[in-house]
Amino acid sequence: MYIWRIPIVMAAELVVVASLLTLTATMLRIRRSLKSPKTKAVLSAAVFVAFALSPLVVDQLVQYRKTEAGLNSMFVDPWPIAACTPAVFDLVVLVASFAIFRNVPRSALMLQRVSFYAAAVAFFALNVVNGCTPGWCERFGFPFAYSAWSDAVVTFDGTFLRRGRRSGPRSTCSSPAPRL
């Protein structure tokens, strides 16, 4: 199941990545301007809870989309640990931004970090867009180009479908091996 050309699980991950990164950056910015240690602790705990709940949010978005479409199952069952991808990705982006922009003056810091976050989310989005349909899938990377191709045989009631045509049941010994 897809939203545009993005598999539903990756679309949910993309929404959670953007939301979690925005929430975390905003909370950390607010935390920096506060004086009270108790309020800082509450905001830090809220960031931790947001990271901890992100796999649940991914799962709930996928479940919502499945029930909205009237489906009981998916074409491919997602790997359960894949729901942790947004939290890990955001953690890597946040740590990288703190390391990269350590010596930047405060006046330009927020603009540069926000630009960095936007570029990271854009790269994440461009990497999850792919050319998939049931039976075949081609993935390509951005900004570092790679290509992966998957070809699966689609069957309906024991009949194999290839390139829009029906072919009979597949035999493992349909023709003898060619001689050299």
pLDDT of residue 151: 58
Q: Choose among 81, 113, 108: nearest CA to 97.
A: 113
Q: Choose among 152, 141, 136, 130: nearest CA to 3.
A: 130
Q: What is the mean pLDDT of residues 64-88?
A: 75
Task: Enumerate the domain spans of the chain.
Answer: 2-128, 130-172
| pLDDT tens for each residue of 130-158 | 655 555 566 666 666 666 666 555 555 65
- The pTM of this model reads 0.66
* Bridge partners for 150 per DSSP: 137
